[in-house]
Amino acid sequence: MNGSILQSSESLCEAFGLTVTRRHQRLALLSLARGDHQLALRLQDEVIAPNVTEIVDLFYDRLMADPESSQFIGGEHHLSHLKETQTGYLLTLGKAFDTEAYFESRLRAGLAHAWVGLPLTTYHCGYHILQSLILSFIRKMVTEDAFEPLLLFLLKIISLDMSLAIEAYHSAQVEELMRSLEKMKHRQQLLQERVRIDSLTSVFSRSQILESLTRCITEARAHGHSLSIVMLDIDHFKRINDRCGHQVGDLVLRQVARRFMMAVRDADMVGRFGGEEFLAILPGADKARALQIAERIRTHTASSPVKSDQQLIDVSVSGGVATLSQIDDLEALVARADRALYQAKNTGRNKVIYLDSEEEGLAGGALE
């Protein structure tokens, strides 16, 4: 079934696929036939109707003696309402059992008990208790020759009611379980997204950008493609925090990250490496292309000040660029880009420096 049973515009019989044919099959399975209608009337007239109040009282006395059931039943007001509902149920037991309306009412009872959270054990035991009580009144109220036919009918009709109620109960429980699973799945997706995305800047988190870099290195080696990275650091960020406060510092981080994303290509990835430091992955980029992209990031970031209330805050970034070599692993590649960034920071800032693997500490291709 799609969607909530509660919200469905179709009848419950339609919702549960209980067509005329399937209803007849259910009745045949329980050996309920047309001749049983007379037994239903006799059960009502001679047994249930004259004793319904006593049956209901005894039924709830039994349930109230059980700690779990009594906890569910609750206070006197709730008990009174339950007794009223149970009386209505008993006074329709077996009447017109082969009609859609009868099936519908029993399905609805199952749904109602599922919605209020009645324990399934209590539900099963409740049917047994009710059947036993009615049986005891059959013994007292009818002649010996009528006892066996009424007994067999009682067993069949209780089995029909129970099969329908439990079917609806089970479906409601499954539907609730599916909703719970969907909620859990959604929460899991949110948690995964939080792990993947840096909550402040909305670029990839450190763990995710490193995971992406690992994958990109593997793919670059497998296909013989170039791969470069850029380590980026906001110049004098501590000074911004000290002078303007951390809220303004957070604003600068968000704005700078947005500018990074606007400056890179669609295939490139940007992540917050830590604090005010970022890592950009440039798949397919050789040295020349990597320097071009890094320079575009640098110039775009410094193209206009960040606006904060009445303040205009000038921002710039320094960048260190490295290209994957034959001998690099992730740590070596990141370390080389970091050394290039360190050189850019220590030779004036607001510049990009490229460091070849063989240079090991010598500046190469500084762009100012």
Confidence tier at 364 by pLDDT (50, 70, 90): very low
φ and ψ at residue 264, rounded to 5 degrees? -90, 170
Question: Tell me, what's the pLDDT at 10?
Answer: 67
pLDDT digits (tens, 9 = 90+) for 135-159: 999 999 999 999 999 999 999 999 9
Between residues 99 and 74, the one the model is more confident about: 99
- Residue 346: C-alpha distances to residues 318, 341, 343, 351 (Å): 10, 9, 5, 10
CB atoms closer than 10 angstroms to residue 238: 11
DSSP character at residue 143: -
Q: How far apart are CA 270 and CA 266, in angstroms?
A: 11
Confidence tier at 290 by pLDDT (50, 70, 90): very high
CB atoms closer than 10 angstroms to residue 264: 20
Q: How far apart are CA 227 and CA 76, in angstroms?
A: 75
Token couple for 89: 């149920």
Q: How far apart are CA 8 and CA 14, in angstroms?
A: 10
Token couple for 322: 């490295």
190-194, 212-216, 258-262, 309-313: least confident range: 190-194
Task: Mention every residue, 6+ apart, whose C-beta is less than 8 A from residue 110.
Answer: 164, 165, 166, 167, 168, 169, 172
- In 67-202, DSSP assigns E strands to none
The count of C-alpha atoms lying within 13 angstroms of the C-alpha of 31, restricted to the half-sphere facing its C-beta, is 6
pLDDT digits (tens, 9 = 90+) for 165-202: 888 888 877 777 777 778 887 777 766 666 789 989 99
Question: Tell me, what's the pLDDT at 170?
Answer: 83
Token couple for 110: 């199952």
Number of alpha helices (DSSP H) and beta strands (DSSP E) in the chain: 14, 8
Q: How far apart are CA 32 and CA 181, in angstroms?
A: 39
Please answer whether residues 290 and 282 qualify as being in contact, where contact means their C-beta atoms are separated by less than 8 angstroms.
yes
Token couple for 123: 């539900």
Amino acid residing at 304: S
Question: Tell me, what's the pLDDT at 181?
Answer: 78
Mean pLDDT in residue range 219-237: 96
Q: How far apart are CA 263 and CA 96, in angstroms?
A: 75
Pairing mode of beta strands 317-323, 352-354: parallel
Question: Tell me, what's the pLDDT at 192?
Answer: 63
Amino acid residing at 265: R
Active site residues: 276
Question: Tell me, what's the pLDDT at 111?
Answer: 87
* Average of per-residue pLDDT values in the chain: 89
Cα–Cα nearest to 319, from 356, 282, 291: 291
Between residues 107 and 10, the one the model is more confident about: 107
Please answer whether residues 107 and 168 qualify as being in contact, where contact means their C-beta atoms are separated by less than 8 angstroms.
yes
Task: Please give the helix or strand (H or E) that residue 366 lies within, else none.
Answer: strand 364-367
Q: How far apart are CA 302 and CA 234, in angstroms?
A: 10
Confidence tier at 361 by pLDDT (50, 70, 90): very low
Q: How far apart are CA 154 and CA 157, in angstroms?
A: 5
Cα–Cα nearest to 30, from 134, 130, 166, 159: 159
* b/e burial code for range 53-83 (CB count within 10 A of at least 16 → b): eebbebbbebbeebeebeebbeeeeeeeebb
Please answer whether residues 351 and 368 qualify as being in contact, where contact means their C-beta atoms are separated by less than 8 angstroms.
yes
Question: Tell me, what's the pLDDT at 299?
Answer: 96
Please answer whether residues 153 and 43 qualify as being in contact, where contact means their C-beta atoms are separated by less than 8 angstroms.
yes
DSSP character at residue 197: B
Residue 234 pLDDT > 80: yes
Domains and CATH numbers, the chain: 12-191 (1.10.490.10), 206-367 (3.30.70.270)
Confidence tier at 368 by pLDDT (50, 70, 90): very low
Confidence tier at 3 by pLDDT (50, 70, 90): very low
Question: Tell me, what's the pLDDT at 362?
Answer: 40
Burial level of 40, CB count in 10 A (0-12/13-18/19+)? Answer: buried
Between residues 40 and 310, the one the model is more confident about: 40
Question: Tell me, what's the pLDDT at 73?
Answer: 78
pLDDT digits (tens, 9 = 90+) for 73-87: 776 667 888 899 999
